[in-house]
Structure 1
Amino acid sequence: MSHRIIQIHVRRGVGDLHQKLKRITPVVDKWPVGPDGLSYALLVRTQDVQAVTDRLHSLFMEKHIVRIVIQPVEAVLPKPITLVAAVASQEDAGVKSPRTFSGISRDELYADVARGAEISTSFLLLVVFSTIVAGIGLIENNIAVVIGAMVIAPLLGPNLALGLATALGDLDLMVNAVKTMLVGFLVALALSCGLGLVWGHFWPLDLYSPELLSRTEVGFDSIALALVSGAAAVLSLASGISSVLVGVMVAVALLPPGATMGIMLGAGRYDLALGAGLLLAVNIVCVNLSAKLVFLFKGVQPRTWMEKQKAMRGMILYMIFWAISLGLLAYVIILRMGQGL
């Protein structure tokens, strides 16, 4: 069982902090930090962090809170079974907190995902490096090299950030995610297109490499794979199990089909480029749609009523947009199958 330490620091004039914190359950333990009585640390189970932080916001006005810091805990002594009993006794004695969100807290999730929506030098370099790695692996038909590019996966971050932004109704994060996604894809497309031109000019370019051709074919199995993999990515993030992400990056890779599309455009094979572009579009749509569904299932939502209403309106429009997009892509796939493409 994992735990977090929630440290709250308040301004003077809020009253007896210790007495107010007694009204918060379930808390495994708490202790003062510093001699002034304005800072306390709360030991909380990971699944209770969201309920506790929301309760802190309801007990104290925003202007009275200096900061709230959430830290992961590597280990706790005594053993967790004793802590579970302590929490159970607290819950029996008081009112149980609703657990609409059973993973890491909203704020932790936001901090993790928002980093993927930033256009930084590191992000651009990762896009460049992974595109080069993917392009060479695709052309040389080297699956190990292609998997290496998949694991880097810089383009997965903005898509997950977009899903979280709509769940929270955060317009700024939404705009940043869309901008980062567009910049990343344009850089990857331009670089892979140039790679196709240069490689074809100086060396023989095998456009029928199995690794290349596999990214120009798309069917309903591609839709199912992208939906499930996108859901697994968000579920692993929201639950705090980041080790699953590597497998997800490989399963629903966005960059290899984008690199294939650029290489085929550079080589003048627009028919094959269209197939790769269709696969890329399917992956993007399915990742965003499944991300939203998982955020909805996990109960990820803003704290206040007004923010919840705003996020709900955005969520409806968001899901309608991606559902219609997926329907159109499925129709295109059916047409291509009818034409034997």
Structure 2
Amino acid sequence: MSLRLIEIIVSGESAAAINGLPSVEHVLGRWDTELGDGQRMVRILVNSDKAEAMLDDLEGRFSTQPGFRVMLLPVEATLPRPSDSATDKTKNNARLQSRISREEIYNDVTQGANVSRVYLAQVVIATVVAAVGLMRDDNAVIIGAMVIAPLLGPNMSLCLATTLGDTKLAIESLKANAVGLAVALCVSLVVGLLFTYDTDIPSIRSRTNVSGGDILLALASGCAGVLAFTSGAPSALIGVMVAVALLPPFVVFGLLLASGDYVAARGALMLVSTNVICVNLSGVLTFVVQGLRPRTWWEAERAKKGTRIAVLTWLALLLVLAVLIYNGTDV
């Protein structure tokens, strides 16, 4: 289990009150330092899955005090190692879900919702590389494009916004998704108009219809993306999975539009729609299973209602697409 160091700045009188917090039983170590002006820094060592409870207790108890500040730092290692008795004590009341704190997840995920120059450049480069790979029917080049594509962030931030009932983050996520897809469409259209290619090659035609395997891939991608963020694991490789589900079929959509093959283009767009729905559906459900929710009860109630509506909406859309796919209807 990884460790976290929580640094708290509070008044000297309030430092003693930390011992009365409900989550203090999970503390593996504590060190106090006088800062002057009546302020004290308290350093607390906890397992990463216990950091959220401690942060919630600290914010609920001291957030109204002047000068209050909490900083959360990852700990690579500590010597001497925490004793077995200390770690066993934290396991007695452990959750079924083992994840990092809400604040860490929020900080990591929301960075992917920013429409920056780097984000736009990555979308352009990934689209060009994917288009070349598709036209050459070269899977290695297509996989290379997936490594560049930054599509994991906006979709995971949308899932998180839904789970937490964060309207502002949801709007930013939708904006980042829309901008990324719009740029990818424009670039793929330009590439399709500038170059001559065979639209019947397998790498293109295979992305003009939806199969059960595509749905499973998209569901697995959304789940894996959330698990990567909630466990604190590197998300680069998981981002490849999400990019595989989203970018190639959307580039195929643009290429087929440029070539005038509108019937096949509608099939590629159906695949993109199915993948977007499945990634977000499984992502939201995984966040819920991981026990992620807002700190206060009134925010939690609002988030629960929003999550229920979002899940039902994604399920309804997936059902509509499934009926269209089963009946062989174009959209």
Contact 1:232 1:248 survives alignment (8 Å): no
Deviation at 1:63, TM superposition (A): 4.0
Q: Tell me the residue number matched to 1:310.
A: 302
Amino acid at match of 1:207: T
Deviation at 1:56, TM superposition (A): 1.1
Q: Tell me the residue number matched to 1:299.
A: 291
Aligned residue among 272, 276, 284 for 1:280:
272
Deviations 1:100-147 (A, max 9, x none): 753010000001110111111111111101000101111011111100
* Structure 1 unaligned residues grouped into runs of 5+: none
| C-alpha distance in 1 between matches for 2:3 and 2:110 | 23
Q: Tell me the residue number matched to 2:72.
A: 70
| C-alpha distance in 2 between matches for 1:65 and 1:292 | 36
- 2:144 paired with 1:148: yes
Q: Tell me the residue number matched to 2:251.
A: 259
Kindly, what percent of the aligned residue pairs are identical? Answer: 39
| C-alpha distance in 2 between matches for 1:264 and 1:223 | 22
Q: Tell me the residue number matched to 1:30.
A: 30
| C-alpha distance in 2 between matches for 1:58 and 1:68 | 12
Residues 100, 300 of structure 1: alpha-carbon distance in 2 compared, 3 angstrom cutoff: farther
Deviation at 1:97, TM superposition (A): 6.2
Q: Tell me the residue number matched to 1:198.
A: 194
Deviant stretches of 4+, over 4 Å: none
Higher alpha-carbon deviation: 324-333 or 234-243: 234-243
Deviations 1:161-181 (A, max 9, x none): 001001111111000000110
Contact 1:50 1:101 survives alignment (8 Å): no
Q: TM-score, normalised by structure 1?
A: 0.89
| C-alpha distance in 2 between matches for 1:110 and 1:233 | 14
SS of the aligned residue for 2:26 comes to coil
5 Å-filtered alignment, 1:164-243, equals: 164-200=160-196, 205-242=197-234
Deviation at 1:254, TM superposition (A): 1.1
Amino acid at match of 1:284: V
Deviations 1:201-247 (A, max 9, x none): xxxx111222112221311221122112211111121111225x515
Amino acid at match of 1:56: L
Q: Tell me the residue number matched to 2:86.
A: 86
Higher alpha-carbon deviation: 178-187 or 271-280: 271-280
Deviation at 1:68, TM superposition (A): 1.2
Amino acid at match of 2:288: L
SS of the aligned residue for 2:31 comes to strand
Deviation at 1:287, TM superposition (A): 0.5
Q: Tell me the residue number matched to 2:237.
A: 246
Contact 2:152 2:239 survives alignment (8 Å): no
Coordinate RMSD, CA, aligned = 2.2
Aligned positions, number: 326
Amino acid at match of 2:232: G
Q: TM-score, normalised by structure 2?
A: 0.92
